[in-house]
Chain A
Amino acid sequence: MRARSLVPAVYIVFLLLPIYWLLNMSFKTTNEILGGLTLWPHNFTLDNYKIIFTDPTWYNGYIASIEYVVINTVLSVAVALPAAYAFSRYRFLGDKHLFFWLLTNRMAPPAVFALPFYQLYSAVGLFDTPWAVALSHTLFNIPLAVWILEGFMSGVPKELDETAYVDGYAFWRFFFRIFMPTIAAGIGVACFFCFMFSWVELLLAKTLTAVAAKPIAALMTKTASTSGYQLGLLAAAGSLTLVPGAVVIYFVRNYIAKGFALGRV
């Protein structure tokens, strides 16, 4: 190992330190946490996790989060696919302006939209359902999905389409049978990013839910403020939110970087 590898190694240690501390806290009893600084749990306990898995308000939070994240991912990618194809293959009236307009929505601060969203989704009767959160997250996820997919699609030579049409394929048959498998990696990456940004966003998710569809991460904030100092429980809930992320990263590990570059590297 050369001295150069020290840089990423030190960086990774820095990244893992807060995560370790969170896990460490989650296995401690409240007494031990408040008793002072201990580098590892001396009285190892799983009580904090037990509370989360037995109390419906806690585990329903997870279900609610997963629910809106999945709806959002499916919806965003499904509508983004044909749009990205149009942007990558055709020129039409207002295409460039439309593309930039889509991007501006990625730039809109969620803080700006919190209140109007609350009113809009209350008015259409979706408030406090996973659909409200899923739909509101399409605001920034659709532009992102279109952007990523367009990048991947532009890497596919146009001859593929033309050959298929010559062979007598109808558009949709070509799209589903040939084109989508060709850009499968891109679709995977787009799904990953939609999943990620919907999973981590909270301001809108919190504003658009009250009881039934409250996401897990928002429940945590409530616990922190109402029931005083249950740091162990808070840490356990936090640790569990790392799991879905870690799982999906594993599947796209070789494409993450390309995805962040929006498929254009």
Chain B
Amino acid sequence: MNKTVNQKAWFLILPVVLLVAFNAIIPLMTVVNYSVQESFGENAFFWSGVRWFEDVLHAERFHFALLRQSLFTAIILVIEIPLGLAIALAMPRKGPWVSVCLVLMALPLLIPWNVVGAMWNILALPDIGLLGRGLNAMGFEYNYTRQPFSAWFTIILMDVWHWTSLVVLLSYAGLVSIPEAYYQAAKIDGARQWAVFRYIQLPKLKYVLTIAILLRFMDSFMVYTEVVVLTGGGPGNSTTFLSIDLVKTALGQFDLGPAAAMSLIYFLIVLLLSWLFYTLMMRNEAR
């Protein structure tokens, strides 16, 4: 759509800008403030330059938390995107079942995040939970409060349960929007199912898949509540992701300087990767 130049449009944006600025800029400046100062008890602050940033960047604790966070996000993307796409492809396109499928699939997305954690906690309890008891009965040694591997397995299963539907819904919306004529043309050309997927469906799904990957990347990289409720970052530190480590430092130990420096580094990583991904995908789109 060709838009008209109109500087008065700023008045329409003003409420949003004011509200978001109040919520984003003031707190962000607070964080920046803390990140370059040393605090001693009652509001006594001293300039400390980039010391906290150096400390955080050299701390092994930060490296491991970042590593765990990245590993988690990578696993999540590798599992959820193909799985969601496959389910969307297998879903019926019309008929009474469509609404039923959509409503049931959207259900996990509307459960408060700590209820999700509590739910899986109950399900995975090794002695009285269905999943925990079942796995142990099948001969697996499973206890998510003791073994790091079980904890990771539970968290990933929980996230797949919680968020795959997002990918399904997005892909499904993309699939439905492909005109019937495309399929008919493919049929006339004698295209096989793989060819239909590769040359018709996949290109048409590019935009929605970009959003799906972007959203899943951002949200899995920021995951906090579910994991804290389920494992509390344990056993040991094995599931202490960046966000959990950050909250522990800031609200648990009140180490404001390091926590603020960590916040900024964390935010910048998310921002940079999201921006990179977004521009790359959109440039391909424009071509």
Contact = CB atoms under 8 A, between A and B. Distances in A.
A262 B211 contact: yes
Given A16-B104, A109-B267, A217-B115, A114 B9 contact: no
Counting chain B CB atoms within 10 Å of each CB, the highest count among A39, A102, A238 belongs to A238
B5 A265 contact: no
Contacts of B66: none
A246 B118 contact: no
Contacts of A8: 87, 90-92, 101
Nearest to B229: A221
Contacts of A44: none
Interface residues of B, number: 93
A72 to B, nearest CB: 11
Contacts of B15: 79, 82-83
Interface in A235-255: 235, 238, 241-242, 244-246, 248-250, 253-254
A243 B211 CA distance: 28
B114 A221 contact: yes
B130 A37 contact: yes
Count class of interface residues, chain A: 35 or more
Interface string B174-196: 10110000000000000000000
Contacts of B281: none
Given A4-B90, A86-B13, A248 B110 contact: yes
Contact of B108 (A15, A106, A135): A15
Contact of B106 (A18, A102, A115, A256): A256
Contacts of A57: none
Contacts, number: 273
Interface in B77-119: 86-87, 90-92, 97, 99, 101-115, 118-119
Contacts of B105: 11-12, 15
A159 to B, nearest CB: 11
B250 A114 contact: yes
A210 to B, nearest CB: 14
Contacts of A248: 110
Interface of B: 1, 3-10, 12-13, 15-17, 19-20, 22-24, 26-28, 30-31, 86-87, 90-92, 97, 99, 101-115, 118-120, 122-123, 127-130, 133, 161, 164-166, 168-170, 172-174, 176-177, 207-208, 211, 218, 221-222, 224-225, 229, 243-244, 246-247, 250-251, 256, 259, 263-264, 266-267, 270-271, 274-275
12 contacts: A8-B92, A11-B105, A15-B161, A19-B107, A109-B243, A200-B113, A202-B113, A203-B247, A220-B118, A234-B118, A249-B106, A258-B173
Given A7-B87, A253-B106, 14 more contacts: A5-B92, A8-B90, A83-B16, A107-B274, A112-B267, A115-B259, A138-B23, A139-B23, A201-B113, A220-B114, A220-B118, A242-B115, A260-B169, A261-B174
